[in-house]
Amino acid sequence: MSAFDVIVSGTMIAQTVRMTIPYGCAALGGVLSERSGVVNIALEGTLLASALAAVAASHATGSALAGIVAGVLCGATVGLVHALLVVRGRIDAIVSGIALNLVAAGGTRFLLRALYGSSSNSPSIQGLRFGDGWGLLARTVFDPFLLATIAIVAAVAWMLRRTRFGLRLRACGEDPAAAQAVGVRVVGMRTAAVALGGAVTGLGGTALAYDLHQFQAGMSGGRGFIALAAVIVSGWRPWPAALACLAFAALDALQIVLQNQTKLPSQVLAMLPFVATLVGLVLVSKRRGGVTRAPAGLGQHAD
């Protein structure tokens, strides 16, 4: 089989779609957080922490659903902490993000040793069982995590555009002082938005762990950061962000599918998503303006 055949193969497509889920969830979490005006580089740590929470809960109870709930709750908690530090404590969002990522990276390793006596990975879990005996296509398309992700993208897009909550959220992101002046509780809105974004990201972390049927130290592997880049490249909009994630996921999948197919050193492929992110940032800056600008109140406080 030539490399080209592999690229257009069903495996590659299925892999791409599967890889999109954690990216997509984290990006949506980023959209929610940043559209409310809170910079969120803690997405990386959120993915990691929620992946471990999901595995630990699922391992302890034997229930995949419990794991999902734990993952989402853990994500929401990380988001809440970030919001409390940044919105109420008023520390710099980047500082908070760096610190939370550090705590998540160290904390998951700490817990890995505390819970399972291993410094690299958890025992394997079953993950989400569905569609035994279905074909690859059906298993890919009807993956509950994928359906949930698509539903979330649609819901967030609709919410930001059509609902009172969404409009207020955006008002906080565009001009917190003005939002405050017309009676929007900026602190509360932002806290809710970042926590909600954390919950969505937590679902992505859960999907990531379930996909590999275990937790591995450092398994988020920069996906949270790439997701944030996808948010920026797509102009902070839900659907374009999801599409950007699909593109990054394709590069990720390429790396896995092509691993044994080419003579290229594996590192060249491993670099691809990150190089693509840089290229994406450059390309988007060329046509900056109009809809693809950052929320004007990003990083500002109301008073």
- Residues within the interface to other proteins (CB under 8 A): 41, 85, 89-92, 94-96, 98-103, 105-107, 109-110, 113-114, 119, 175-178, 180-181, 222, 225, 228-229, 232, 265, 267-268, 270-271, 274-275, 277-278, 281-282, 285-286, 288, 297, 299-303
Please identify, using beta-carbon distances, which residue of 163 and 266 lies nearer to other proteins.
266
Residue 40's φ and ψ, nearest 5 degrees, are -135, 90
Please identify, using beta-carbon distances, which residue of 131 and 221 lies nearer to other proteins.
221
Other Cβ atoms closer than 10 A to 222:
14
Burial of 286 (0-12, 13-18, 19+ CB in 10 A): exposed
Angle between helices 144-162 and 164-174 (to 10 degrees): 70
Q: How far is the CB of 282 from other proteins (least distance, A)?
A: 5
Q: How far is the CB of 249 from other proteins (least distance, A)?
A: 16
Alpha carbons within 13 A on the beta-carbon side of 205: 42
Please identify, using beta-carbon distances, which residue of 222 and 235 lies nearer to other proteins.
222
Please state, in angstroms and rounded to a whole number, the distance separating the CA atoms of residues 189 and 169.
6
Q: How far is the CB of 230 from other proteins (least distance, A)?
A: 10
Q: Report DSSP letters for 51-94, one per residue.
A: HHHHHHHHHHH--HHHHHHHHHHHHHHHHHHHHIIIIIS---HH
Please identify, using beta-carbon distances, which residue of 154 and 271 lies nearer to other proteins.
271
Q: Which residues contact 74 (CB under 8 A, 6 or more apart)?
A: 49, 50, 52, 53, 54, 202, 205
Q: Which residues contact 140 (CB under 8 A, 6 or more apart)?
A: 13, 14, 17, 18, 146
Please identify, using beta-carbon distances, which residue of 205 and 280 lies nearer to other proteins.
280
Q: How far is the CB of 174 from other proteins (least distance, A)?
A: 12
Q: How far is the CB of 87 from other proteins (least distance, A)?
A: 12
Please identify, using beta-carbon distances, which residue of 63 and 285 lies nearer to other proteins.
285
Q: How far is the CB of 263 from other proteins (least distance, A)?
A: 10
Q: How far is the CB of 217 from other proteins (least distance, A)?
A: 9
Please identify, using beta-carbon distances, which residue of 126 and 266 lies nearer to other proteins.
266
Please state, in angstroms and rounded to a whole number, the distance separating the CA atoms of residues 241 and 228.
9
Please identify, using beta-carbon distances, which residue of 91 and 138 lies nearer to other proteins.
91
Candidates 177, 196, 214; CA nearest to 67 is 214
Q: How far is the CB of 30 from other proteins (least distance, A)?
A: 11
